[in-house]
Amino acid sequence: MTEFEPKIVAFVCNWCTYAGADLTGTSRIKYAQNVKIIRFPCTGRIDFMLLLKAFGEGADGIIVSGCHPNDCHYTSGNFHARRRWIMFRGLLDLLGIDVRRIQYSWVSAAEGAKWADVVNTTVTAIRELGPYTDYAKVANYLEKEANV
């Protein structure tokens, strides 16, 4: 059997983390290839439902990342996002959706090395947790159950 390769989706803001991830590349820092990056104007724009959609489509882990506090391109988008993450995380935890599979981080445009580290440690953590079968069972319910 081949080793489990986690599928990770990263929702990142355009101004800091996306640029940071770019820097990781241009600095030729190698990091895990498991991540698919989706760029948003701002962390404030990342709707919480997108995270569930990612799990629904088969993601094993999620990274959400944006500008450090006080560095938001739009002044306060990340502050709003932070409040939302706090609430969302609590709700998911209550529902038994595995919050260990969602890594939040602040990665600036200058932190190419930090991005590589965030991705690598997340991939390692998710690899240990294994595939997210609990959620996949629910998401693929219709395919399994011939008729409901």
Partner 1 sequence: MQIDNYLIRQTSLEKLFNNLIGNGKTVFAPQASEKRILFEKVKAFSEITDNYLVTTNAAKSVVFPRTEKLFSYKKTKETTEITDASTEAVPEVVLWGTRPCDAAAFIPLTDTFNGDYPDILYNNRRGKVYLLSFSCATCDEYCFCTSVNGSPGNTAGSDILFTKLSTGDYLAEVITEKGKKLVAENQTLFEAAPEEEKEPNLAKVKTYFNQDEIQAKLQNLFENPVWDEKSRACLGCGSCAFVCPVCSCFDIQDEKHGSKGTRLRCWDSCGFSLFTLHTSGHNPRETQGARWRQRILHKFLYMPDKSKVAGCVGCGRCSRVCPADINILETVTSI
Partner 2 sequence: MNELIQKAKSLLESDTVQVVIGYGKGSADKTRAIFLTKPEDCDQLLFDSRCVQNLAVYLTKHEIKHLGKPAIVAPIPVLRSILQLAVENQLKESDLVILGVSPESKLIEFDSFGAIELFLNAYKIQIDEKYKATIDKIKAMPVSERFAFWIKELEPCFKCYACRAACPLCYCPKCTVENNQPQWIPAASHLLGNLEWHVMRAMHLAGRCTDCEACYNACPMGIPIHLLTKSMLQDVEEHFGPYGPSVGKRNTLSSFNPDDKESFIR
**Counting contacts by CB under 8 A, is residue 93 touching partner 1?**
no
Task: Please identify which residue in 52, 109, 113, 125 interacts with partner 2, judged by CB under 8 A.
Answer: 52
Q: Which of residues 24-43 bind partner 1 (CB under 8 A)?
A: none
- How far is it, in rounded angstroms, from Cα 124 to Cα 103? 12
Q: Which of 102, 95, 74 is nearest to 16 (CA)?
A: 74
- How far is it, in rounded angstroms, from Cα 52 to Cα 50? 5
Tokens of 86: 């706090």
Looking at the Cβ atoms of 32 and 139, the one nearer to partner 1 is: 139
Count of chain residues binding partner 1 (CB under 8 A): 7
**62: helix, coil or strand?**
strand
Instruction: Tell me how crowded residue 57 is: count the other CB atoms within 10 A of its CB.
Output: 11
**Counting contacts by CB under 8 A, is residue 147 touching partner 1?**
yes
Give residues in contact with partner 1 (CB under 8 A): 57, 140, 142-143, 146-148
Give residues in contact with partner 2 (CB under 8 A): 48-49, 52, 56, 69-70, 76, 79-80, 82-100, 103-106, 118, 134-135, 138-139, 141-142, 148
